[in-house]
């Protein structure tokens, strides 16, 4: 059982009649939009999963950010702030660097490929039976395994939130919220999802900002917040540090931080999953690039700081030394407890409604993403290749139902959202470099990817293999203890970096030991995507298609984008802590670098200019 008895009886619901009116009205309005969109029926799976490739950048970027704003993110953010401090948020801030590389190096290629899923890219790029096997395995791994883990932690967070705010049991919360989300997804498809994402993002952002402002008011303002936290003996050492400080943390944690910002961001660099599914839906390549950039700002900066403020305020309003047994056991409960403690009647209902809507939005996204894999890359590719559009639409909806059930099972087995995040980071890191290289180097083949995936899965689950070997008497207790020490949580990010390096080396050895992809397949891919990089033997066959433009602007855009994003991020941070001079300086730096970034986005070479 994922919710303990202490949790189920920890805090009674603080909602009043007006709150329930707001919640009911918001949910009915959301469902009304879903049914309105459903009137414009999808004709085929292209319409259902990528909306006819005709959506604008601002809608797509907001939709991706809205998927980040699920019930899991605020709970995990506030818990990390309360237990580690502000710097704990580098667990997702680090993704900003990878997203910006996607903006300037990958977004246009994803849109140019005109595919339905990133798994379909495999048979666009590789040839032979190995490519077919890889496509099926990738669809199963990402569409079912990784997707169900991701949805599982989102559902887990919603159960915790529902218990605190609504007083519902885990079983009731699971049934009601999943039925709402399922109906919403089945009726509207991706177009309805992204339209509702705009509503949910707006309502969610406004309500979380209001909560953060009221927290600041309650403690006496930004400066007073920092002062009171610094004076509390029960606050974590260095709780206000935005970067880890060796005087407050150990050397292992500092090395983990360096691994995270120095290496592991590569896992997000080419984009994947629901993010690139949105890029497939863009009007053109320029819209895909702008959508990625807006997502970086909205997801990394706009969303996270209101949650962080609530986490900091909780140290003053609900002190750690006075925490209830349930909160001490599970610090991820602090966000809904702060809603109960701070928000007045009506606003409390709005935030609860926004959280429920954000939950539905995230579930919708993951179900559409996973369903597209199951239909396009498994069923249509390997099982039934000649059915009509209505049949594939039916299978799409059936796949969504199956994914929902599997995700509910995954949630039932989870205890911690943050631990599930870290496990995904480990697995994804192992395949990161090979997935990046396949766009820019002709020599990468299907066996390169297969090797990186198998190696990543093997190394990430090494504790299981050694346990089984120990059970069969193949290794002694000393070896078991040493290996288990390497798989402890405190070295997870260091382990993920080692996995990335080892998987990359092993995959490159396999690349050179196996045959290249067939020339015709490489030529076909090159003609369609026209990538830059090391394509010499292929590019020489079609010299008229070679992109001779310089990569200088892309690298400048990437660098200025990093400066822009981080200046803006820490400007807001210093502002909420009362350091207004530093905040202003960073804002000016961010404004200048942001202007340069946008200029470089505008001049980015896309298909229509080649």
CA dihedral 401, 402, 403, 405 (to 10 degrees): 90
Q: Is pLDDT above 70 for 415?
A: no
pTM above 0.75, yes or no: yes
Whether 189 is covered by a domain: the verdict is yes
Cα–Cα nearest to 567, from 550, 545, 544, 591: 591
Residue 482 and residue 352 share a domain: no
**pLDDT per position as a tens digit, 345-370:** 888 888 888 877 777 777 877 887 88
The residue from 414, 440, 468 where one domain ends is 414
Whether 245 is covered by a domain: the verdict is no
Whether 500 is covered by a domain: the verdict is yes
Residue 219 and residue 285 share a domain: yes
Q: Is pLDDT above 80 for 40?
A: no
What tokens appear for 488 in the block?
């402890």
The residue from 362, 388, 414 where one domain ends is 414
Give the pLDDT band (50/70/90) at residue 608.
Answer: low
- Distance CA(282)–CA(58), nearest Å, equals 10
Kindly tell me the burial class for residue 230, based on how many C-beta atoms sit within 10 Å of its own C-beta (0-12, 13-18, 19 or more): exposed
**pLDDT per position as a tens digit, 80-121:** 899 889 998 998 899 899 999 999 999 999 999 999 888 999
Residue 383 and residue 424 share a domain: no
Give the pLDDT band (50/70/90) at residue 11.
Answer: very low
More confident residue, 500 or 470: 500
The three-class DSSP label of residue 473 is coil
**SS3 letters for 136-197?**
HHHHHHHHHHHHHHHHHHHHHHHHHHHHHHHCCCHHHHHHHHHHHHHHHHHHHHHHHHHHHH
Give the pLDDT band (50/70/90) at residue 414.
Answer: low
Whether 194 is covered by a domain: the verdict is yes
**pLDDT per position as a tens digit, 242-283:** 998 888 888 999 999 999 999 989 988 988 778 888 898 899
CA dihedral 339, 342, 344, 345 (to 10 degrees): 30
Count how many domains the chain has: 3
Residue 502 and residue 374 share a domain: no
Give the pLDDT band (50/70/90) at residue 37.
Answer: low
Provide the residue range defining the domain that includes 457.
Answer: 416-517
What tokens appear for 316 in the block?
């003053």
**pLDDT per position as a tens digit, 514-560:** 999 999 999 999 999 999 999 999 999 999 998 888 889 999 999 99
Altogether, the residues listed in the chain come to a count of 610
Residue 425 and residue 403 share a domain: no
Residue 422 and residue 379 share a domain: no
Residue 139 and residue 1 share a domain: yes
Q: Is the dihedral of CA 328, 329, 330, 333 positive or negative?
A: negative
The CATH number that applies at residue 203 is: 1.20.1730.10
Q: Is pLDDT above 50 for 12?
A: no
Helices and strands per DSSP (H, E), number in the chain: 30, 0
The residue from 389, 414, 439 where one domain ends is 414
Whether 205 is covered by a domain: the verdict is yes
Residue 423 and residue 393 share a domain: no
Residue 5 pLDDT:
46
Angle, helix 273-280 to helix 57-68, in steps of 10 degrees:
160
Residue 185 and residue 49 share a domain: yes
Instruction: Encode 48-86: b = buried (16+ Cβ within 10 Å), e = exposed.
Output: bbbbebebebebbbbbbbbbbbbbbbbbbbbbbbbbbbb
Give the pLDDT band (50/70/90) at residue 38.
Answer: low
Residue 431 and residue 403 share a domain: no
Residue 427 and residue 408 share a domain: no
Whether 86 is covered by a domain: the verdict is yes
Q: Is pLDDT above 50 for 398?
A: yes
Whether 347 is covered by a domain: the verdict is yes
CA 382 to chain centre: 29
Whether 474 is covered by a domain: the verdict is yes
Q: How far is CA 475 from CA 410, 458, 462, 465, in A?
A: 31, 18, 13, 11
Mean pLDDT score of the chain: 85
Residue 155 and residue 118 share a domain: yes
């Amino acid at each position: 059982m994922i919710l303990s008895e202490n949790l189920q009886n920890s805090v009674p619901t603080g909602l009043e009649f007006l709150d329930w009116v707001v919640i009911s009205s918001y949910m009915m309005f959301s469902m009304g939009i879903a049914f309105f969109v459903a009137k414009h029926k999808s004709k085929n799976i292209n319409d259902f999963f990528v909306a006819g490739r005709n959506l604008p950048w601002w809608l797509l970027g907001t939709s991706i950010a809205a998927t980040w704003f699920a019930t899991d993110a605020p709970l995990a953010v506030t818990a990390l702030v309360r237990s580690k401090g502000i710097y704990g948020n580098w667990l997702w801030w680090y993704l900003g660097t990878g997203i910006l590389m996607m903006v300037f190096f990958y977004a246009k290629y994803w849109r140019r490929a005109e595919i339905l899923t990133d798994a379909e890219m495999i048979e666009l790029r590789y040839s032979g039976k190995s490519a077919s096997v890889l496509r099926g395995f990738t669809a199963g791994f990402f569409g079912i395994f990784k997707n169900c883990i991701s949805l599982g932690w989102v559902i887990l967070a919603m159960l915790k939130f529902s218990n605190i705010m609504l007083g519902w049991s885990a079983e009731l919360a699971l049934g009601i919220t999943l039925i709402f989300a399922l109906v919403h997804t089945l009726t509207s498809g991706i177009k309805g999802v992204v339209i509702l994402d705009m509503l949910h993002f707006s309502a969610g952002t406004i309500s979380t900002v209001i909560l953060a402002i009221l927290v600041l008011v309650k403690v006496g303002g930004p400066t007073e917040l920092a002062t009171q936290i610094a004076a509390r003996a029960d606050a974590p050492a260095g709780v206000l540090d935005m970067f880890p400080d060796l005087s407050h943390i150990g050397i292992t944690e500092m090395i983990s931080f360096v691994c995270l910002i120095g290496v592991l961001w590569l896992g997000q660099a080419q984009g994947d999953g629901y993010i690139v599914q949105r890029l497939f839906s863009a009007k053109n390549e320029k819209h895909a690039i702008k959508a990625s950039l807006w997502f970086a700002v909205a997801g990394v900066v706009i969303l996270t700081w209101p949650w962080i403020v609530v986490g900091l305020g909780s140290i003053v309003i609900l002190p750690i030394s006075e925490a209830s047994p349930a909160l001490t056991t599970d610090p991820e409960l602090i966000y809904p407890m702060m809603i109960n403690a701070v928000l007045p009647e009506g606003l409390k209902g709005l935030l609860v409604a926004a959280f429920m809507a954000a939950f539905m939005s995230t579930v919708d996204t993951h179900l559409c993403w996973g369903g597209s894999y199951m239909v396009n890359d498994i069923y249509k590719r390997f099982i039934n290749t000649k059915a009509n559009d209505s049949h594939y639409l039916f299978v799409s909806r059936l796949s969504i139902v199956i994914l929902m059930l599997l995700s509910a099972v995954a949630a039932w087995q989870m205890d911690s959202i943050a631990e599930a995040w870290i496990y995904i980071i480990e697995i994804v890191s192992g395949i990161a470099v090979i997935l990046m290289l396949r766009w820019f180097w002709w020599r990468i083949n299907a066996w390169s990817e297969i090797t990186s995936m198998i190696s990543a899965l093997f190394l990430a689950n090494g504790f299981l293999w050694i346990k089984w070997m120990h059970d069969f008497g193949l290794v002694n207790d000393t070896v078991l203890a040493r290996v288990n020490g390497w798989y402890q949580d405190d070295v997870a990010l260091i382990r993920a970096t080692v996995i990335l390096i080892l998987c990359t080396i092993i995959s490159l050895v396999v690349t050179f030991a196996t045959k290249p992809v067939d020339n015709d397949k490489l030529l076909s891919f090159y003609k369609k995507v026209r990538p830059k990089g090391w394509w010499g033997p292929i590019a020489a066959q079609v010299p008229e298609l070679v992109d001779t433009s310089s990569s200088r602007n892309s690298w400048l855009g990437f660098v200025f984008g990093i400066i822009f994003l981080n200046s803006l991020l820490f400007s807001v941070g210093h502002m909420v802590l009362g350091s207004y001079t530093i905040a202003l300086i960073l804002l000016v730096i961010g404004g200048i670098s942001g202007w340069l970034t946008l200029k470089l986005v505008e001049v980015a070479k896309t298909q229509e200019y080649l």
